[in-house]
Structure 1
Amino acid sequence: MGEIAIALLNKELKFCELSSESSNNTRIEAKVGRNKRAKIPYKNLIYRSGIHVNDAIDPQKFSSVATQMSKTLDLHLAWELLSQNLIENETEQIDVYEISDLLDFEKDPYLIAAIYLHIHKDSLFFSIYENGLLIHSPQNVEAVKTARVRSNRENEDEQTLIKSIKNQSIPSNPSDHQSQLIQYLKKFVILGESYSRSAKAIDLINRISNNSQGDLQKTGFKLLEPTGIINLDIPYELEKLEISTKFSGNLIKKSEILIPLDYEWEDLTHLPTYTIDDENTLDRDDAFSLDKDNNRIWIHITAVASIVDSGSIFDLEANNRMCSVYLPELTIPMLPRPISENISTLQPRFRRLCLSLRLDLDEKSKIIKHSFVKTTIETNDSLTYNDADNVFSNPTEQLHNLLSKIEQFTTNSKSERERQGAYSFNKPDVAIKISEAGKVNVSMSSAHSRSKDLIAELMIVYNAKIAHFFMTNQIPALYRSQDDSRNSHSVAAIGPLDWYLASRSMKPAKISVASGRHSGLGLDLYCQATSPLRRFTDLCLQRQAIEYISKSTNTYGPKELSNIGVESEIRVREIHGVESRRRKYWLLRFLEQEILNGTLPNRLVATVLENDSIRSALIELTEFPLRGRCLIPQEFKPGNECELKLNGVDLWDLTAQFSLL
């Protein structure tokens, strides 16, 4: 029969029965279970008892006796005597028999085994090291005691926090550890398993929810929302994309002391010049003028490149952000507000530098000559779209003739593009506003009006002409192209089904240093350079144009521009996704507020977009731009209308539950 021994297996002390040794004396074979054998490295063989298995004793009986003895041991006195001469923070290797002698155990195998078991379970004074023991210095012992006190306190804090969250609250004065755990939970709900502390957060969620199955992020949200830790009114999507809602103090300070340079650019301050924007717009980057007996139109784009130098801290910030973010509850400009809403915005009666497009027209409002010019302008007034539409409607208004003349040009330009295959979506615009009290207001307006169409076409003309400017002069640029759609459709999509089918057939626009046709706009060449305050790629292209006009050189080479284009496309797509999610969130909040909890009738008209036997029908509300799914009979075909009842909304999944009336 083999000798009973203690070995370290999988970080645990195990009693085993030794048998044969390897020829090179590096391992020894042992029976570690009823029918299990293992080859144990000698370094893992902690203690050989000298007792061999017989009818009266086996490893299990030996283990039982030694384990019971280990529970009554107190090694404190032995440690005090043995550690007297240790240097601060030092450890020293000792023999187990030094401890047993002090305890008057002599060399009793059961008691020696008990010492090892006790130390393995509680390594305050001693620890197992290879085949021997280490004694810890008083300083190390105190450090371990302090750590244990902290650990016990933290365990108590965790239990208290778990109990509080189960009761839909948090401790009134959370400890530092509890605050840290709350942050772990919150971050996991926002970021998911990509969060570095997700394992701890998942452990807490499982303990709070008694090992709930399914989507743990959603489970975490449901646990935290009643406590106030998580509030979906806050756009956490920004944190997921690492988009800061604020600029650094240093960046703000430096932007506040910027002084616009007064270059000797062509002075157009004598021309009547106007901007037309939404009523809440503060970053006005485009304006227009009419001169030379109404036969010359100027389209002005604020010269942000004259303020924001390539490689400057403002340029690096814009490069990092890539574009402005427009959420119903929040606007985050690409550039600090002192730039985007002050020294670079086209405010009335302030001199501003612009990169302007001059269009010379014939008597039929056709372009006979055009050029890009570095100019200085001063806008006379800033109109809202409503203001401008009222001017169109009233022939006695001072600006009626000016706007009408420009409209004649933009109408001709748009008609020509439509002949080349351009199409548009006549989808209404949704405006969502949130009051300070949290009340949501939703209003719908036409995407088209005479003033909106006028400004949109002026921007398209500018972008098309600057694309030709880059191509003609062989200047590296970022072109936007779009392949022909998969299916033919009308020039203007009208109604939910048309919008749905047209959007499915359209191929996505691409951005590249290689030029290509933009089928959606009916143009052979197209760039975007009209929003240098709001899009980084527009700012880069404006730099390219100004640099070439000034020095016949380029700021960027093709490779650098291509890299910027790729990064921009990815980032802008992510940001547009956040903007879309937030609009949908607030629209669902509005329906919950006004229909489920308010006074609006719970009867919603919807258009069927898809309806097959495989899944619930896809529908779009007629009054609000919201799609969802609902179980309706097969006789409802795409394009048919139906009346629905709203049964609930899920603000986490951004879905609404409907039933047929």
Structure 2
Amino acid sequence: MNLFFEESGDFKAGAVLSQQGEAYQVEMASGKRSKVKSKDVMLQFASPSPAKLLEDAQAIAQDIDLDFLWEVAGEDEFGFAELGTEYFGHAPLPHEAAGLLLRLHSSPIYFYRKGKGRYKAAPQASLQAALAGIEKKKQQALVQAQYVEELKAGKLPDSFKPMALQLLFRPDKNGIEFKALDAACRELQTTPPRLMLSTGGLASPKDLHYAKFLFEFFPKGSGFPEVKIPSVPADLPLADVQAFSIDDVTTTEIDDALSVVKLADGNVRVGIHIAAPGLGIKRDDAIDAMARQRMSTVYMPGEKITMLPDSLVEAFTLDEGKKCPALSLYATLDPSDWSVISTETRAEIVPISANLRHNDLDALVTEEALAENSGEYPHKDDISLLWQWVQVLERGRMAKRESFGLRPEQNNRVDFNFYVDNDVVTITRRKRGAPLDKIVAELMIFANSTWGKFMADHGVPGIYRAQGGGAGGWAAKMQVRMVTHAAPHQGLGVDQYAWSTSPLRRYTDLVNQWQILACLEHGVTAPLAAPFKPRDADLFAIVSAFDSAYSGYADFQSGMERYWCLRWLAQEQARQVDAVVLKDEILRLVDIPLVIRLPGMPQVARGLQVKLDLLRWDEVDLTVEARLLEIPTAQQSADTEPMDEEDEAMLQGMEDAAQEDAEAAAEGAEESAGDNAGDETAGATTTPVPAAE
């Protein structure tokens, strides 16, 4: 006896070897034996052989007309043998019954399975819908295949053009466009971004990196709706000063300006004037919602995405020749020792006499020129006086820093400025700690520290940056963190540090400006009147959101600077270049801030300058392949050849970075490189790195 039975969803046939109760021992044509329960047996037959039955059944199944079979089946549930009698016109033979069962089982859109060997014909509407779906899939498969062929031929299908970016960064993986792109990439052994670039879906790798960032952080676009410029109080007093700013040549968001007035009693009053959008923007208004959503201006070489609409920036930026609303911090100084006699905070209108630019003055305003009182430039006497004070401020910070157990801060690091014009990049070096840098940095640190204490003294919370005193090991303790109460920033050497000097481009600074204005207006009742009250949960939410956004923006800026470094290599046709060993296999090119890894690099002293042969670089993956050409003989032994000043600075900077998580060594220049140098401009960015990082 032979059996036709179902096993694991398949139909099989075999000869019975034995039977025990409700189970059979069956041997298939292949020689494999199986235990088959009687409930799984569809047919019992004596002939033909099991193999012949399966062969004939498959032939029968292929010949059955499904549409005719569906009509014959009617609307009621049926068994396959019953339908076989109706369909064949006689009681079906074993191979006919088996063939019919195979056909029923393989046609689920025509026949719904209701049990072992039992089925029901699908309703006509359901059947038509299913057939239409199958036909649609067939047509889509043909279109998809056409898309694949076009992509393989280097042509972007027309339907891909409006969705090219979506296919890369937020695809519908069930869509035929994505399936075609994926299939073409597999056949061409490439990646979707590279295929999009080769077929014209993206114009350049720069567009790829930029679009990826926008899809993640600005999914609704980076533009602004029309906004009404808010008014400021009409009764603000006019300051009796002639203020000036110091920024990079391409800076447009001018947050800060300075002024110097010699008083009749021989003392000096220095003004630190900060743009005051907080006088017009109010918490939870439409502009606040825009700023809070962005948290910061985004910088990259050649471009930026501002935190605030251009029209509002233009209304509050401290432009030359304008009288601008400002939050001013005045420090009265004793010029005999440059000690601070008193400070005062005012909201006022400040005349801006000049916007000075680093690009014009850095070569003129040097330490030597200041010592000799040489050169002619605007506000020369004011800058000379400020230079004397900031040196005292710096020494005081360093003493405080050392009291926290830290080594003196290293200022002889190097900044790299990026300027992009019509996709041509210029990368220039500028040593940090130059007088103009130091003047701005020290005065912004002074303002942020003073205003941080001002808020704390009034019992008003703010957003502070703190360093030191945390739990865990050294690195954890020295990690810079954002808190809502006054706490020391040991790396800077100050008792508290609240970002307050860049309200046009950092949301934290705008929040702190609101809090400072509340202290100024309400005095001892400020905790009740400030926009953010003590223990305000929303303030903690702002800190968390800002940290996340600021970190993402910084990563993007770093990636775009790396892209422009690679563009510089192509532009300058750089092949053999000098590099400095940072550590082990990590090197940095001397002329640009491009850090690369060189596997197999021989063990040499950090700070040594070597020559590399650049083999290739990839603007999509932002990778570089290079090989070592030579280690100059004169540098082979660090014991016999002293390092030059730049290498010494680099090594000291690296040691500080390793010990203090880098920021303690760099934060002193944060206000200079971050608030005033190119990283706040549309045309340039500034990358601070160790002298040879």
TM-score normalised by the chain length of structure 1: 0.79
How far does residue 580 in structure 1 lie from its aligned partner after superposition? 0.6
Q: Does 1:585 align with 2:585?
A: no
Comparing 525-534 and 406-415, the one that deviates more = 406-415
Query: C-alpha offsets along residues 219-273 of structure 1, whole Å, 9 cap, x if unaligned?
Result: 444444322334421224414633358445xx521x2x223223433432x4212
Partner of 1:518: 489
| Match 1:75 to one of 57, 61, 66 | 66
| Match 1:603 to one of 576, 595, 599 | 576
How far does residue 72 in structure 1 lie from its aligned partner after superposition? 0.9
How far does residue 332 in structure 1 lie from its aligned partner after superposition? 0.6
Partner of 1:186: 168
Aligned residue runs from structure 1 range 477-492, under 5 A: 477-483=462-468
Provide closer, same or farther for how the CA distance between residues 354 and 400 of structure 1 changes in structure 2, counting only shifts above 3 A.
same
Aligned residue runs from structure 1 range 277-356, under 5 A: 277-291=247-261, 293=263, 295-339=268-312, 341-356=313-328
How far does residue 335 in structure 1 lie from its aligned partner after superposition? 1.8
Aligned residue runs from structure 1 range 117-516, under 5 A: 117-131=102-116, 132-171=118-157, 173-174=158-159, 186-187=168-169, 205=182, 208-210=185-187, 219-230=191-202, 231-234=204-207, 235-239=210-214, 241-244=216-219, 246-247=221-222, 251-253=224-226, 255=227, 257-268=228-239, 270-291=240-261, 293=263, 295-339=268-312, 341-364=313-336, 365-389=338-362, 392=365, 396-421=376-401, 423-436=409-422, 438-483=423-468, 507-516=478-487
Amino acid at match of 2:390: T
How far does residue 143 in structure 1 lie from its aligned partner after superposition? 2.6
Separation in structure 2 between the aligned mates of residue 29 and residue 295 of structure 1, nearest angstrom: 108
Query: C-alpha offsets along residues 90-145 of structure 1, whole Å, 9 cap, x if unaligned?
Result: x8755556754553343415334333322443445434344533333444333333
Is the contact made by 1:323 and 1:536 (CA closer than 8 Å) also made in structure 2?
yes
Separation in structure 2 between the aligned mates of residue 435 and residue 93 of structure 1, nearest angstrom: 77
Amino acid at match of 2:415: D
Partner of 1:658: 626
Partner of 2:87: 103
Q: Does 1:594 align with 2:572?
A: yes
SS at match of 1:283: coil
Separation in structure 2 between the aligned mates of residue 318 and residue 605 of structure 1, nearest angstrom: 43
Is the contact made by 2:461 and 2:485 (CA closer than 8 Å) also made in structure 1?
no
Comparing 449-458 and 117-126, the one that deviates more = 117-126
Is the contact made by 1:245 and 1:332 (CA closer than 8 Å) also made in structure 2?
no
Partner of 1:86: none
Separation in structure 1 between the aligned mates of residue 593 and residue 488 of structure 2, nearest angstrom: 30
Is the contact made by 2:13 and 2:54 (CA closer than 8 Å) also made in structure 1?
no
How far does residue 297 in structure 1 lie from its aligned partner after superposition? 1.4
Separation in structure 2 between the aligned mates of residue 453 and residue 137 of structure 1, nearest angstrom: 83
Partner of 1:5: 5
SS at match of 1:531: coil
Comparing 119-128 and 327-336, the one that deviates more = 119-128
SS at match of 2:225: helix
Query: C-alpha offsets along residues 469-494 of structure 1, whole Å, 9 cap, x if unaligned?
Result: 12222222222122399xxxxxxxxx
How far does residue 604 in structure 1 lie from its aligned partner after superposition? 1.4
Query: C-alpha offsets along residues 544-566 of structure 1, whole Å, 9 cap, x if unaligned?
Result: 22223223133223343233222
Partner of 1:25: none
Provide closer, same or farther for how the CA distance between residues 184 and 450 of structure 1 changes in structure 2, counting only shifts above 3 A.
closer
Provide closer, same or farther for how the CA distance between residues 635 and 167 of structure 1 changes in structure 2, counting only shifts above 3 A.
same
Partner of 2:11: 14
Provide closer, same or farther for how the CA distance between residues 265 and 94 of structure 1 changes in structure 2, counting only shifts above 3 A.
farther
Partner of 2:647: none
How far does residue 467 in structure 1 lie from its aligned partner after superposition? 1.5
Partner of 2:678: none
Aligned alpha-carbon RMSD (Å): 3.7
Separation in structure 2 between the aligned mates of residue 13 and residue 222 of structure 1, nearest angstrom: 44
SS at match of 2:382: helix
Separation in structure 2 between the aligned mates of residue 542 and residue 32 of structure 1, nearest angstrom: 87
Separation in structure 2 between the aligned mates of residue 653 and residue 453 of structure 1, nearest angstrom: 37
Q: Does 1:51 align with 2:55?
A: no
Separation in structure 2 between the aligned mates of residue 610 and residue 198 of structure 1, nearest angstrom: 48
Provide closer, same or farther for how the CA distance between residues 134 and 30 of structure 1 changes in structure 2, counting only shifts above 3 A.
farther
Query: C-alpha offsets along residues 472-519 of structure 1, whole Å, 9 cap, x if unaligned?
Result: 22222222122399xxxxxxxxxxxxxxxxx99994321123543323
Partner of 1:627: 595
Amino acid at match of 1:51: Q
Q: Does 1:534 align with 2:502?
A: no
Separation in structure 1 between the aligned mates of residue 199 and residue 459 of structure 2, nearest angstrom: 61
How far does residue 75 in structure 1 lie from its aligned partner after superposition? 2.5
| Match 2:57 to one of 51, 60, 66 | 66
Provide closer, same or farther for how the CA distance between residues 555 and 278 of structure 1 changes in structure 2, counting only shifts above 3 A.
same
Provide closer, same or farther for how the CA distance between residues 582 and 208 of structure 1 changes in structure 2, counting only shifts above 3 A.
closer
Provide closer, same or farther for how the CA distance between residues 285 and 130 of structure 1 changes in structure 2, counting only shifts above 3 A.
farther
Unaligned runs of 5+ in 1: 23-27, 84-90, 213-217, 486-502, 612-616
TM-score normalised by the chain length of structure 2: 0.75
The share of aligned pairs that are identical, in percent, is: 20
Separation in structure 2 between the aligned mates of residue 413 and residue 383 of structure 1, nearest angstrom: 22
Q: Does 1:636 align with 2:604?
A: yes
Amino acid at match of 1:258: I
How far does residue 368 in structure 1 lie from its aligned partner after superposition? 0.7
How far does residue 643 in structure 1 lie from its aligned partner after superposition? 1.4
Separation in structure 1 between the aligned mates of residue 478 and residue 25 of structure 2, nearest angstrom: 69
Aligned residue runs from structure 1 range 14-53, under 5 A: 14-15=11-12, 34-37=32-35, 49-52=42-45
Is the contact made by 1:266 and 1:373 (CA closer than 8 Å) also made in structure 2?
no
Separation in structure 1 between the aligned mates of residue 221 and residue 576 of structure 2, nearest angstrom: 42
SS at match of 1:379: strand
How far does residue 327 in structure 1 lie from its aligned partner after superposition? 0.8
Comparing 395-404 and 147-156, the one that deviates more = 395-404
Is the contact made by 2:295 and 2:506 (CA closer than 8 Å) also made in structure 1?
yes
Provide closer, same or farther for how the CA distance between residues 381 and 208 of structure 1 changes in structure 2, counting only shifts above 3 A.
closer
Separation in structure 2 between the aligned mates of residue 236 and residue 160 of structure 1, nearest angstrom: 27
How far does residue 313 in structure 1 lie from its aligned partner after superposition? 3.0
Separation in structure 2 between the aligned mates of residue 181 and residue 351 of structure 1, nearest angstrom: 47
Separation in structure 1 between the aligned mates of residue 400 and residue 106 of structure 2, nearest angstrom: 82
Provide closer, same or farther for how the CA distance between residues 49 and 180 of structure 1 changes in structure 2, counting only shifts above 3 A.
farther
Separation in structure 1 between the aligned mates of residue 96 and residue 296 of structure 2, nearest angstrom: 73
Separation in structure 1 between the aligned mates of residue 97 and residue 213 of structure 2, nearest angstrom: 61
- Higher relative contact order by CA 8 Å / sep ≥ 6: 1 or 2? 2
Unaligned runs of 5+ in 2: 402-407, 630-693
